[in-house]
Structure 1
Amino acid sequence: MSTIKLGENNVETSGTLPKKGEKAPDFNLTAQDLSEKNLSDYKGSRVIMNIFPSIDTNVCATSVRKFNEKASGLKNTKVLCISKDLPFAQKRFVSDEELENVTNLSDFRDGSFGKNYGVEMMNSPMKGLLSRAVVVVDEDGTVMYSQQVPDIGEEPDYLSALKTLL
Structure 2
Amino acid sequence: MKGEEAADFRAFVESRWTGLVRTAYLLTGDHGIAEDIAQSALTKAYVHWRRVQRADNPDAYLHRVLVNTNTERFRKRRVAEQLGADLPQSIGVDPYGRFEQQHMLREALADLPVRQRAVVVLRYWNDLPELEVARILGCTLGTVKSQAAKGLAKLRAHPGLIGARLRVEEYCR
Q: TM over 0.5: same fold?
A: no
The alignment's TM-score, normalised by the length of structure 2, stands at: 0.24
Which structure: larger Rg? 2
Higher relative contact order (CA 8 A, sep 6+): 1
Q: TM-score, normalised by structure 1?
A: 0.25
